[in-house]
Structure 1
């Protein structure tokens, strides 16, 4: 009976706290109250300028394997966020999950010891590393290919994590083109520039 009573008291406290917070949050003149700022605000209505970057991984402190992390953002003037009735809120943003593989180390290993497969061992590909070691980097052709693949960040760690690169460093991102990508129509460059190509005109 005592357990039910304490459970009931806790639920009652939570409900009264929520009711008090919602009653206290009354927007002033020219202010708008938004229920969930993290999900409903448009990009021009907030700024996320205070990124909490981990110095070891060079990504957000709470970055997950799914490539998402929380960061503190501030809404534009005149927008209040519930339940705390202020303009700051947490928003889920994209980040790159890292697992300790440094881009600089992988590239240096590939350039200087790639013919022995050390770069592939470092990135977690032991089978290809053994083949490169046995064939002297596939007779130096595989060595050259791996230097190009690692320097363009096409070849990454085997666990599908990202390299540790400075947050504002030379990270290459893939831009995918799909059905929703706008393509600007352009005329035929050869016939437009050379009027002599069509003598009838």
Structure 2
């Protein structure tokens, strides 16, 4: 029994001694690495870029011509709609850049210095050579002072055309492409309500004369209540029919939606 205890104690001592030697060796290696790193000249400095990091920095650098690759897309928005090779004076307004001045006489011709936008090519009238700068003669007036045929406006269908006083509405107008003027080509304007729903005055008058006693004219104009009243009263015994013929003939009675006749 005593011999077994001594053998067990001997084996336990050898195991503890082996673990102690391993711990001492690991501690020594760790201390040497820490001392070597602390004495290194890289301590306190930014770590050098790896190869992958340097490559990614070059790709995201502003020196890469990203704007150049995107410029054709922005240029195509107007260059595709601008004719190239024609006369400079015939180019649409969105294809050229002009230095307009306001010291001209209203309603009289004035010359302005212009140049085609990037990607647009044009020639002069005299020498038939490509021009980078040219002179354009334009009538001295602002865009909102143009004739109504030279701009297009958004039409409102929510106002009444037949009212007293006449109703107006605010809308946005855009100048036609080949018309040149001073100022913004997109402007606000207050116009009279003059839209139409497609009703014909001649059709309404013909229905009033022929079938007015049955309310056909009122039904055509979208006035269902009045049409039913005329239908069940036989045109107000003919009196209502004659009155409607006069009212539609002079244009006093119009479509129920408030629009104008065609």
The TM-score, its normalising length taken from structure 2, stands at: 0.37
The TM-score, its normalising length taken from structure 1, stands at: 0.47
Q: Quick check: which has more Rg, 1 or 2? A: 2
